Every structure is written in structure tokens, then in C-alpha cells.
A and B are shown apart, each in its own frame.
Chain A
């Protein structure tokens, strides 16, 4: 599905830009982060709308852990679909200093963090984040220790 693939790509690019903007000289650019968040939100909503027909959704109400990547989106103020509350919130706060450590952890995704990781679609899908599915398949095949990316 083209729309779905494009939406996914846009989300991945947005996440990449948001991550890299934290190390940018001059500090977090609020305007840019806001625009990226809006793009990601609309891409995410369209992606999910496309995915509901192909997969069953596993929705858990999980609170956002403080040690997770500190990104939140605003739920109001747009005309987009209102996603389920458990979906990841993403936004940048110029006041809050991004914890580079946590961000790296989220990217690498060691096993302890996986168990607390939200099971929302957006975080499971992006290619540069370790894919849960692949890990589970490997475990079932080889019965060996968890493979890290």
C-alpha cells in the first residue's frame, strides 16, 4: 500500500531528524521540532488507519516511562484522527534537556527496555529500531541468547 509505505517512511525520517536535532549546535529548535512532530503525527494516523485492516491491534494502556525518550505530541488542535491514548506521544520541549543516554537506549533497545516499551505501531515499525518480531523469531528458531542490533 503506497500510502502506508509513504507514511512509514515519513515517520522514520521525522524520528531521525528529531533525534539528530538534539545534538545540533544552538540547541533544540522548537519550531522545527513542532513541525516534525505534526508531520509524524499525521503520518502515523494515516499509517494506522491503513494498518487496521491488515493487523489486529494490541492496545495496552501504558504510561510513558520517564526514562524513555522524552517526546510528546499534542493531542488537540489538529483535524487529524484522535488516536488511542496509548499511542506514543511525541513533542519537543526546549526547556527539557534531552537525555542522550535514554535516547541511545531507546535506539539500541536492550531487552530490559523492550519489556517496558510501548507496543504501539509507530514504535514497532521503524526500521532503525530493533524489530521485536525478528527477535522473537530468532529465539524460537535458535533458542539462543537475544540478538542485539
Chain B
């Protein structure tokens, strides 16, 4: 980790479209998620499609070359809908995908748009029954008079086919736009959160959900904050956390009450009065919250920083990392071009020692919590060829001392934003969504987590 990256990050690039300035909006990737083993990687896009990648098994002849990810399945998860009562179009954009832990040969994932969550079953078919008595090879019904003997159909191998089918549709439970879903560690329930409410579902029951958080005020004119993200604790099935637009985190215990409006813990950092500006409220809004794998820490992302919180300390974060502080003086322009509303996600590595988040100009940042070193890398075709080592990038603040290859703040491309990133649960493999392109980087030298 660090400026002199001795790790080799190689590129396995999946571009859906040639990289030119005009991007079909439907192809913009809106979510990225590894499954629990890291064997599968799912992406959702604005057009409502889900693409699943599968890692090729390691080849025995080259034990040190790990498998690459190739397309495994593509399907249309959500379609645009129209709410006739409110005269509203419901976008088909996939906001989140979450995998269920694998319990049999099939894989299950939840995908959600603004209003509806769906459970999908992904299974393989590699055998086909042959030797029917009443049908011929092409499936046509045989003339019964030609059947002179009976045979038992046998299963013969066939080309691998991946079948995807919707198993459950969880609809009509959210008035506002769904921003998060999270599967519980009990593997039976999951929650979905919108701007003002969080609902608890059972995976098998679609016609009912329990409302566990409701922050809608009696009078909407009194509205001061909304829910921005929510997640279940990875180990304790009774605990979950949700973040707000005010920059606070609330840990709730479902054992305390049926309606968890009253938090068990409130994590809030007092505002620095000297840093107050017109945009203080906007930049303090938490865009993503993630529990560490250990369940001991929380990672949050607001517009300019990423913070690690200790569940045992509510008064302030344990660590604060500046993602792109050079933007602090540009907030007014970023407000005018809408970039200040961008919602960046964040991710832990498998051992909770490194955190990662995206930025602009197709840059993404990694912070090593132990060494305190950080690195800025770029996800772009120009700067990374397959098997090439990623070169650390630097942004120099306006007026700062400029080195060769540095980028100045004013030449950053704010249309190239990395909002969605994911880290393999066990290995040093990361997936970066850069608009309509997916980059998968593997650290071949240091494949094991430290």
C-alpha cells in the first residue's frame, strides 16, 4: 500500500461500450456487489439490467495466476413502471444488489429499484433429459403408433446454461425511494430502507412487511433529515444501523421495541463551527454506511471524507480520511453543476485493514488503516493495459507545488465519477464501476489479505 506500490494490480476490463464521450444512459452501472465467496460479481445498471460475472477457476498449470472474471449471466431485473395514482414514472434503475449466502447449488440475489425488491434465483443447467417416449429429439409429439417399446429417459450432458428466474417480488411497501437493502445474518429476513422508513421482510413472504423505523414527521414541513443508508450487523441479527442526511448514525436493537425509532446508540461528530459554509449540510450528509466484517467498526462516506467509527464510541469517529479535500474551496461550483449531490459508496477489504472509496476523474482512493498510507489510482483504459501495474496518481491543489504527471484540480473531469466500488470478501480483488465500464483489478503479488 502507498505511493510506491509494490503490489501489482492487473486489469481485467469489461467495457460494455466503446469509451467515447457519449454514454448511453441505460448502460451506466448503478451498483456492484461480490457474493459471499467472491466467486460471483453482480452489477446493476440504469436500464434495469443485472450482469453477473463468474471467476474462472484457477488453472492448475499456472498455480499463481488467479482466475479472471467473465460474464456468467445477464437478465432484465426491473422494467420502467408507471404509478397511475401519483402520475409518476418509476425508474428501472437498479439501486442495490445484495447476495444471499449460498445454501444449495443455486445462487440467490436481491435487486431493488426505487419501489420494488425482487429475489432472483440463478441456477445452472448442464444436463438434459433425452429419450422421451412421446416426444422426438426436436420435441415434436410422436405418432403413438410408432412407439413400440418404452424407455427410461436419461440425463445427458449439455452446454452449460445459466437460468435466472424471479422467485419473489416485494412490492408496494415504500412510499419514498428505496436507497438500501440488507440481508440479515439470520438468512431469513432482510430490510429495505427508503428516505423516511425502514421495513423488515421475511424472504418467503411478499405480501407483508414490518415497519421498524419511521422518521416521517406528522407535518412534512417539519422535515429536517432523511435516511440515506441502512445495514444489518454482520453477526448480530438484532442490530442494524442507519445513516441520515444530517451526518448521524443510529444503531438500533430490534429486541428493544417493535418500532426502532428510538436508537440504542447515536453516532455524531460535533460540527466544527469554523468550517461552516452554505454547503455544510449537504457535505455532511452520509452517502453510505458499511459495517466492518468483524462487526466492530462502521465505515461512512460523506462528500469529502470517509470515517471509521468504533461501535463503542459515539462521540466522534475513530479515524477520518480526506478523500478529496481540494474540493472544499470549489463547493459552490460543485453545487451549481450538481456534483455536490453525488453519492459515493465505500468498502472494506476482507481483513478490515484497508478502506476504499471513489472520487472524480475516474480516481479511486484506498486508505490503509494500519500504516496510515493512502493511494489514489485511476480506472481508465488509457492508463491501464491488461497486466499493467497501476500507477499512483496525485492531485495537486490549486497553487500547490506541481510534480510531473500531477493533475490540477481544475482539470479534473467531474463527469467521470466512481460512485460504486466493491472489494472481494477474501482476496485483494476490487471491482470499480466507472460510468458504463466495469474494471476488475487483482493484486497478484499480495493476493492474501494482511
A-side interface residues toward B, CB under 8 Å? 6-7, 10, 13, 17, 25-27, 29-32, 34-35, 38-39, 42-43, 46, 72-78, 89, 91, 93-97
Do B281 and A95 touch across chains, with their CB atoms under 8 A apart?
Answer: no
Q: Tell me which of B90, B222, B285, B332 contacts A74 (CB under 8 A).
A: B222
Do B279 and A39 touch across chains, with their CB atoms under 8 A apart?
Answer: yes
Do B221 and A30 touch across chains, with their CB atoms under 8 A apart?
Answer: no
Do B220 and A93 touch across chains, with their CB atoms under 8 A apart?
Answer: yes
What is the distance, in angstroms, from B304's C-beta to the closest C-beta of chain A? 15
Do A26 and B114 touch across chains, with their CB atoms under 8 A apart?
Answer: yes
Q: Tell me which of B177, B220, B221, B282 contacts A35 (CB under 8 A).
A: B282
Q: Tell me which of B196, B228, B281 contacts A39 (CB under 8 A).
A: B281
Do B90 and A26 touch across chains, with their CB atoms under 8 A apart?
Answer: yes
Q: List residues of chain B with CB within 8 A of the CB of A89.
A: 221
B interface residues, how many (CB within 8 angstroms): 33
Do A29 and B177 touch across chains, with their CB atoms under 8 A apart?
Answer: yes
Do A74 and B278 touch across chains, with their CB atoms under 8 A apart?
Answer: no
Do A34 and B89 touch across chains, with their CB atoms under 8 A apart?
Answer: no
Q: List residues of chain A with CB within 8 A of the CB of B87.
A: 97
Q: Considering only CB atoms, which chain A residue lies closest to B222 in the complex?
A: A74
Q: List residues of chain A with CB within 8 A of the CB of B338.
A: 17
Do A27 and B86 touch across chains, with their CB atoms under 8 A apart?
Answer: yes
What is the distance, in angstroms, from B271's C-beta to the closest C-beta of chain A? 9
Do A13 and B335 touch across chains, with their CB atoms under 8 A apart?
Answer: yes
Do A25 and B86 touch across chains, with their CB atoms under 8 A apart?
Answer: no
What is the distance, in angstroms, from A6's C-beta to the closest C-beta of chain B? 7
Contacts of B68-105 to chain A: CB distance below 8 A: 83, 86-91, 93
Do B89 and A91 touch across chains, with their CB atoms under 8 A apart?
Answer: no
Does B64 sit at the interface, judged by CB under 8 A? no
Q: List residues of chain A with CB within 8 A of the CB of B282.
A: 35, 38-39
What is the distance, in angstroms, from A20's C-beta to the closest C-beta of chain B? 10
Q: List residues of chain A with CB within 8 A of the CB of B89.
A: 25-27
Q: List residues of chain B with CB within 8 A of the CB of A42.
A: 278, 281
Q: Mark B217-237, 1 if CB is under 8 A from A, else 0.
A: 000111111101000000000
Do A30 and B88 touch across chains, with their CB atoms under 8 A apart?
Answer: no
Do B341 and A30 touch across chains, with their CB atoms under 8 A apart?
Answer: no
Do A74 and B221 touch across chains, with their CB atoms under 8 A apart?
Answer: yes
Q: List residues of chain A with CB within 8 A of the CB of B228.
A: 31
Q: Tell me which of A7, A10, A31, A78 contacts B224 (CB under 8 A).
A: A78
Q: List residues of chain A with CB within 8 A of the CB of B320.
A: none
